[in-house]
Amino acid sequence: MTLFSRLGPKGTIALAVVAAFLLLAVLAPWLAPFPEQGAGAPNIAEKFLPPMPPHLLGTDHLGRDMLSRVIYGGRVSLSSGLLIVLVSLAVGLPIGMIAGYAGGWWDEALMRLTDVFLAFPALLLAVLMAAALGPGLLNAVLAVAVTWWPWYARMARAEVLTLRSQPYVEAARLMGVSNSRILLRHVLPAALRPLSVQAAMDVGPALLTASALSFLGLGALPPTADWGQIVDAGRKFFPERWWYSVAPGMAIFVLALAFAALGDALRDGEQKDA
Amino acid sequence: MLEIANLSVTLPSRRGPLHVLRRIDLSMAKGQIHGLIGESGCGKTMTAMALLGLLPEGAVVAADRFRFDGDEVAGRVKTLRGRRIALISQDPAAALNPVLTIGRQMDDVIRSHHALPRPERQAKAVDILAATGLPDPQNLLRRYPHQLSGGMQQRVVIAQALATGADFLIADEPTTALDVTVGAQVLRLLRDLVASRGLTVLMITHDMDVVAETCDRATVLYAGISVEEGPVGALLDHPRHPYTQALLAALPDAAPHGARLAAVEGSIPPPTETLPGCAFAARCPHATAACAAPPPLRNAGGQSWSCHLELP
Amino acid sequence: MGLGRYLLRRLALSALVVLGVTFLVFVAAQVVPSDPAALYAGPRPTAAQIEKARAELHLDAPLPERFASFAVAMASGDFGVSYKSRRPIAQDLRAYLPATLELAAVSTLLALIIGIPAGAMSAARRGSWFDRAGGFGAIAAVAMPTFFLAMLLQAIFAQSLGLLPLSGRLSREIAISAPLETVTGFTLIDAVLAGRFDVLRDAAAHLILPALTLAAYPAGIAMRLTRSAMIEILGRRHILAVRALGLSPARILFGHALPNAICPALTILGLSFAYALTGAVLVEIIFAWPGLGRYVSEAVLSKDFPVIAAATFVVTLCYVAMNLVLDLVQALLDPRVALQ
């Protein structure tokens, strides 16, 4: 079965949208119509132009081309979404694997630790952390990851618990293979598959949370553009200069929608396999 | 009461059409208990669903004659369901809603079919529950299904069917989930209700004892085809169709009570197959080359069956 | 495990969680900022002012001792003084918490009222246009950034159509000329208690847009969860049984199938309320809603850590308490939960 028939028409469109956003972000300096403005250079003479060529999405209060700003903002927003998931995975996966494999006291202690983090309303904990760490892209990523890793820890633990009783793992243990080797060679690869599907589905929500932080002024610092931050900057001029906030707002919406649809398609595909 | 001739039901599926019912003939007189016998997958439940108009979506129904109480069923299934025809579900533990009280479940049935004020509906519920032999029905109304024994649950299911006011009941394996003595009590109750209320019952079962004890007549189904029909005494003493014979022969003699249909050698042709000739030919010890053609319908001693074999 | 033991275990777990939460808040508010004393001392402090602040905040005490006194203070409801306004934080919280809870409660209610029936209908008519449109609506509601939705709703219903007030909790005329006596702090309830139906109308009108904004995401989740739960339930034998008894489709769907979905419904309730509590941070600034969320986001901008800590702590307590209650209700309704 090919990837496309697995994803179905909706999933394929979603994948295309995600790919397009990724491409725009990576190739921003070449694809954005006004790269210097996208990177933050002001152009006061042309401020608040409504959408029309050559500024297809209008210009902002400093006369910068909105399309270029949104394309450049995508670099920050997309990478923060991806980083949140990767950092959380990097923290949650080992913790969950240790808890599941070691069992007993370790398991209890680590799982109660996840309970504490999960007991926080996620966005509020992220706000608390971001405020403590100070604004900035990496700090925002860390702040969200703090609320995110326990989910992966729990998933990894559940996977390890089922894998631990598999015959080939038992056999390896009986043959005297070391624990760390069993975890790395046998358990990790098998646990990674379901977790990576989940992680792919989580990029959308991670992106939404990151953009919420940046909307609150806790994300990337100007003049670096970031979608949530641009929406907030445009709020002062909304709805008269509607394009200012609508362009980045729609970008977040469309990308999150594409990730959600892609996630649904992936999950349906897995079910079809089962 | 019920006249069905050459009923067929076909379901669409990814692997092509499924012939779940191929040729069903069934006629029942008022006040009778009629058994519908066969192995699982032979079309017993599907026949009931066709009567209730609850076939899966996309089902294609065809029949030479399909009449209930003298009128064609087609187009008025919904007005029959619950009003004239009601189902006594199998496995009462699963057939009752676990989160609603017995009173609520009785009341929902009654108010769906009778425009009565609340106190009268409740009185009716109590009367019907009492009629099914349940002790202290007033108190029962506040109970949940899991607080009752299997036999009591089955009586509640019967009471629900009675509460609709229907005069034709379809009992789908009513004793399968119960132990033997409780099952016998439930069967006695059904017989009494038929006598006292003038009901007609289609009894779906794979238990020959149930047929012998309760039914007046019975029809044997095989692969969606009614292969033999007749009065129960004659059917059990002188089975004519080789399949009926095989079924009865497969009963262990040592355990005549509570005996179930033991598997007959071989398996039922899958519903994906079209069967132009005799459906049982592949498993029949008497099969000949003639069996590739549709078998003729034969009659003798009140029994009718379709088979190429001359009477032995 | 019996119900009693389950209850005990669940209570102990909640206590542990509250302790952990206190510790995290302590670390974020008292340890991480480069120098809390400098923040406390105000803008451009002198070295002497910072030293004085350090003593006042007991920052010179060893960490365990500081944590202990912090925990005791939190437990006794003494949240300290705001760096910025120098007002006792507890007093502010008393004013702002009811506003946030009111908004959260109404938006949760909206999410359930929209999401659960829509999910049930989708399940009953699988593959229909309603199911498809609902499916898209649900996924769109989940993907919509809350703050952007808030701005769009404001632009459409307040600024363009003028149907609803733009922001705030009550109209200025009412707040100034005929203020409402605060009894519970919940405007809707206070208005009813005072018999002021003009205020009730005004307060409800102000609530609609922020509550709708906060309801969108949980309504989408509710719809999807209800749909999948109901598809499973509708396939159960007792549903076939009542169909075979001639009950109407509506009565079967809402009277017989939906009551079986009580567990997913409680999960949805918890999710919605939690989302509303945190989403308040975003929505309250946009709608100028005088609640905890706005209080926190303003504190974030002025680095007012005691305020952020106290608000986080209080909201988290609400959240833990709600989860505890929901788990217990679920265990009571369905004893299998306690057995896990």
Out of A106-115, A264-273, C141-150, least confident range: A264-273
Best mutation target among C84, C108, C147 (most A Cβ atoms within 10 Å) is C147
pLDDT > 80? residue B293? yes
pLDDT bucket at A181, cuts 50 / 70 / 90: confident
Mean pLDDT of the region B61-70:
89
pLDDT at residue B256, rounded to an integer: 46
Cβ B164–C245 below 8 Å, yes or no? yes
C55-85 pLDDT, tens digit each: 777 777 788 888 888 888 888 888 888 888 8
The nearest alpha carbon in chain C to A257 belongs to C143
**Cα distance between residue B273 and residue B295, in whole Å:** 17
User: What percentage of chain B carries pLDDT values higher than 90?
Assistant: 46
B227: CB partners within 8 A, 6+ apart:
B220, B221, B241, B243, B244, B279, B280, B305, B306, B307
**What are the E-state strand segments in C24-66?**
none
Whether ipTM tops 0.95, in short, is no
> Considering only CA atoms, which of A79, A72, A67 is closest in space to residue A40?
A72
- Identify the sign of the CA torsion A57, A61, A65, A66: negative
Pair C262, B99: CB distance under 8 Å: yes
**Cα distance between residue B295 and residue A113, in whole Å:** 74
Best mutation target among C245, C251, C256, C337 (most B Cβ atoms within 10 Å) is C245
C319: amino acid identity, one letter: Y
Give yes or no: residues C251 and C221 share one domain: yes
**Cα distance between residue A129 and residue A213, in whole Å:** 11
pLDDT at residue C336, rounded to an integer: 59
Give yes or no: residues C258 and C121 share one domain: yes
Mean pLDDT of the region A25-48:
86
Q: What part of B 135-194 touches C (C-beta under 8 Å)? A: 157, 160-161, 164, 170
pLDDT bucket at B102, cuts 50 / 70 / 90: very high
A103: amino acid identity, one letter: G
**Cα distance between residue B7 and residue B254, in whole Å:** 38
Distance between A209 CA and the closest CA of chain C, angstroms: 9
Give yes or no: residues C296 and C309 share one domain: no
* Total structural domains within chain C: 2
The nearest alpha carbon in chain C to B168 belongs to C245
**Cα distance between residue B28 and residue B43, in whole Å:** 18
Pair A57, A72: CB distance under 8 Å: no
pLDDT > 90? residue B106? yes
Mean pLDDT of the region B174-182:
87
- Residues of A in Cβ contact (< 8 Å) with C282: 123, 212, 215-216
**Cα distance between residue A110 and residue B65, in whole Å:** 70
Give me the domain span that covers residue A93.
Answer: 8-27+58-254
* C277 sits in which H/E element: helix C262-286
Residue B57 to residues B107, B157, C244, C296: CA-CA distances in angstroms? 29, 26, 15, 55
Give yes or no: residues C145 and C283 share one domain: yes
**Cα distance between residue A200 and residue A88, in whole Å:** 12
B136-146 pLDDT, tens digit each: 999 999 998 98
Cβ B82–C248 below 8 Å, yes or no? no
pLDDT at residue B259, rounded to an integer: 45
Chain C neighbours, 3+ Cβ pairs < 8 A: A, B
Instruction: Decide: C and B in contact? Rule: 3+ Cβ pairs under 8 Å.
Output: yes
pLDDT > 70? residue A272? no
Flag whether A180 is in a domain. yes
Residue C307 to residues B187, C61, C168, C300: CA-CA distances in angstroms? 73, 21, 22, 9
| Tokens at B117, concatenated | 């004020």
Cβ C244–B112 below 8 Å, yes or no? no
For chains A and C, count residue pairs whose Cβ atoms are closer than 8 Å.
Answer: 139
The nearest alpha carbon in chain A to C300 belongs to A131
pLDDT > 70? residue B253? no
Which among A115, A231, A260 is the nearest to C147, CB-wise?
Answer: A231
| Tokens at B3, concatenated | 């006249």
Flag whether A44 is in a domain. no
Give me the domain span that covers residue C3.
Answer: 1-84+304-340
Give yes or no: residues C226 and C170 share one domain: yes
Give yes or no: residues C189 and C42 share one domain: no
Which among A115, A216, A249 is the nearest to C145, CB-wise?
Answer: A249
| Tokens at B105, concatenated | 């479940």
Flag whether A43 is in a domain. no
Give yes or no: residues C240 and C104 share one domain: yes
Residue ranges of chain C whose pLDDT lies below 50: 340
Out of A84-88, A176-180, B260-264, C248-252, least confident range: B260-264
pLDDT bucket at A22, cuts 50 / 70 / 90: very high
Out of B76-90, B198-212, C43-57, least confident range: C43-57
pLDDT > 70? residue B261? no
| The model scores a pTM over 0.90 | no
Which among C244, C248, C262 is the nearest to B52, CB-wise?
Answer: C244
**Cα distance between residue A120 and residue C312, in whole Å:** 8
Phi, psi at A137, each rounded to 5°: -60, -50
pLDDT bucket at B257, cuts 50 / 70 / 90: very low
**R_g of chain B computed on alpha carbons:** 20
- Residues of C in Cβ contact (< 8 Å) with A132: 28-29, 32-33, 305
Which among C28, C143, C278 is the nearest to A132, CB-wise?
Answer: C28
Pair A234, A245: CB distance under 8 Å: yes
Which among C144, C151, C303 is the nearest to A235, CB-wise?
Answer: C151
Pair C146, C279: CB distance under 8 Å: yes
| 3-state class (DSSP) for residue B84 | coil
pLDDT at residue B22, rounded to an integer: 92
Angle between helices C305-333 and A122-133 (to 10 degrees): 160
Cβ B108–C238 below 8 Å, yes or no? no
pLDDT at residue A62, rounded to an integer: 86
Distance between C269 CA and the closest CA of chain B, angstroms: 19
Beta bridge partners of B18: B11
Please state, as a whole number, how many other Cβ atoms lie within 10 Å of the Cβ of residue C337.
17
Right CATH for B2-84+166-306 from 1.10.10.10, 3.40.50.300, 3.40.50.1000, 3.30.2320.80: 3.40.50.300
| 3-state class (DSSP) for residue C255 | helix
- Residues of C in Cβ contact (< 8 Å) with A212: 145-147, 281-282
Inform me whether the C-beta atom of residue B9 falls under 8 Å from chain C C-beta atoms.
no
**Cα distance between residue B162 and residue B158, in whole Å:** 6
Flag whether A271 is in a domain. no
pLDDT > 60? residue B254? no
Residue B294 to residues A39, B65, B209, B232, B289: CA-CA distances in angstroms? 83, 20, 31, 26, 12
Cβ C246–B82 below 8 Å, yes or no? yes
B192-202 pLDDT, tens digit each: 999 999 999 99
Cβ C281–A261 below 8 Å, yes or no? no
**Cα distance between residue C186 and residue C94, in whole Å:** 11
Residue A46 to residues A42, A54, A235, B46, C60: CA-CA distances in angstroms? 9, 11, 19, 74, 55
pLDDT at residue B258, rounded to an integer: 45
Give yes or no: residues C101 and C237 share one domain: yes
Distance between C256 CA and the closest CA of chain B, angstroms: 7
Residue B123 to residues A157, B112, B142: CA-CA distances in angstroms? 56, 16, 14
Distance between B277 CA and the closest CA of chain C, angstroms: 35
Residue B258 or residue A256, greater confidence? A256
| Tokens at A147, concatenated | 């609320």
Inform me whether the C-beta atom of residue B91 falls under 8 Å from chain C C-beta atoms.
yes
**Cα distance between residue B37 and residue B41, in whole Å:** 11
Give yes or no: residues C64 and C190 share one domain: no
Residue B51 to residues A107, B214, C264: CA-CA distances in angstroms? 57, 21, 35
Out of A26-40, B78-92, B181-195, C172-186, least confident range: C172-186
Residue corresponding to tokens 């903002």: A73
What CATH number corresponds to the domain at position A233?
A: 1.10.3720.10
Give yes or no: residues C166 and C77 share one domain: no
Instruction: Decide: B and A in contact? Rule: 3+ Cβ pairs under 8 Å.
Output: no
pLDDT at residue B252, rounded to an integer: 60
Rounded (5°) CA angle A33-A39-A44: 80
Give yes or no: residues C229 and C337 share one domain: no
Cβ C312–A211 below 8 Å, yes or no? no
- Residues of C in Cβ contact (< 8 Å) with B109: 242, 245, 247
Residue A3 or residue B127, greater confidence? B127
B58: CB partners within 8 A, 6+ apart:
B11, B12
Cβ B54–C243 below 8 Å, yes or no? yes
pLDDT at residue C116, rounded to an integer: 92
Chain B neighbours, 3+ Cβ pairs < 8 A: C
Determine how β-strand B217-222 pairs with β-strand B33-37. parallel
Give yes or no: residues C291 and C198 share one domain: yes
* Total structural domains within chain A: 1
pLDDT > 90? residue A44? no
The nearest alpha carbon in chain B to C237 belongs to B95
- Residues of C in Cβ contact (< 8 Å) with A131: 28, 299-300, 303, 305, 308
DSSP C230-244: HHHHHTSHHHHHHHT
